[in-house]
Amino acid sequence: SQQGEEDPQALSIQEGENATMNCSYKTSINNLQWYRQNSGRGLVHLILIRSNEREKHSGRLRVTLDTSKKSSSLLITASRAADTASYFCATDIYNQGGKLIFGQGTELSVKP
């Protein structure tokens, strides 16, 4: 069973705009990870935020985590056409070591 819900399911923006994707989950977690997947390819790890962290930055990426609301958001600033991909959040479930469960994903399309 899948733990996470993501919204929007699809997002289309112009190059240079910011893209925000949201993820909600149901159970306690050790950490939450965001991944990117280009069509037909493997998953690329973007960023990990631990359950005791609230915000994390990596380049043009900003991730927030609200454990009280069981939600996270991924912000991509100044988007580029190369950011076009599917983005998944994945939760490392507390006390179930190794059980990384993925959300449904957001398909991001960045138009040049």
Partner 1 sequence: DTEVTQTPKHLVMGMTNKKSLKCEQHMGHRAMYWYKQKAKKPPELMFVYSYEKLSINESVPSRFSPECPNSSLLNLHLHALQPEDSALYLCASSQDLASLRNTIYFGEGSWLTVV
- Which positions lie near partner 1, rule CB under 8 A? 2, 4, 30-31, 33, 35, 40-45, 48, 50-52, 88, 90, 92, 96-105
Compute the least distance from the CB of residue 32 to partner 1, in Å: 11
**Token duo for residue 5:** 């819900």
* Residue 83 three-state SS: helix
Compute the least distance from the CB of residue 58 to partner 1, in Å: 12
Smaller CB separation from partner 1, 97 or 112? 97
**Token duo for residue 31:** 């950490």
User: Distance between CA 91 and CA 56 in Å, rounded?
Assistant: 16
Compute the least distance from the CB of residue 16 to partner 1, in Å: 28
Smaller CB separation from partner 1, 59 or 98? 98
Compute the least distance from the CB of residue 78 to partner 1, in Å: 25
Smaller CB separation from partner 1, 44 or 78? 44
Smaller CB separation from partner 1, 98 or 112? 98
**Token duo for residue 106:** 């957001």
DSSP code string of 79-112? --GGG-EEEEEEEEETTSTT-EEEB--EEEEEE-
* Residue 40 three-state SS: coil
